[in-house]
Amino acid sequence: GIQVEQSPPDLILQEGANSTLRCNFSDSVNNLQWFHQNPWGQLINLFYIPSGTKQNGRLSATTVATERYSLLYISSSQTTDSGVYFCAGTNDMRFGAGTRLTVKP
């Protein structure tokens, strides 16, 4: 299966700061999704993004398929953004190890 590498593994921010999370793939993926897992375990779909850039409020994502990576941008972070962020290629839906984000008030 495709190997998924996420960085950084942990990130601590002060409320209001911006951040960039990265997802690298070992092989080409047809499509890619970013998820946020909240403290109750629910996985929330953030972006379904095969290529290009999408924005949704304070979040945006960019996928460069030819270079096998995707970036998730969080601007003006809030405490409710805390949790674990995962990416997965929809070829086989294998997940990276995730980035654990903690936003402090």
Partner 1 sequence: GAVVSQHPSWVICKSGTSVKIECRSLDFQATTMFWYRQFPKQSLMLMATSNEGSKATYEQGVEKDKFLINHASLTLSTLTVTSAHPEDSSFYICSASLGSGYGYTFGSGTRLTVV
Shortest reach from residue 76's CB to partner 1, in Å: 25
End-to-end CA distance of the chain: 40
Q: What angle do CA 16, 19, 24 make, to 5 degrees?
A: 165
* Helices H / strands E in the chain, number of each: 0, 11
CA pair distance 31, 65, nearest whole angstrom: 9
Shortest reach from residue 16's CB to partner 1, in Å: 27
Of 5, 24, 69, 95, the one binding partner 1 by CB under 8 A: 95
Q: Does 54 bind partner 1 (CB under 8 A)?
A: no
Enumerate residues 7-36 that contact partner 1 by CB under 8 A.
Answer: 31, 33, 35
Residues that bind partner 1 (CB under 8 A): 1, 31, 33, 35, 41-43, 45, 48, 86, 88, 90, 92-98, 100
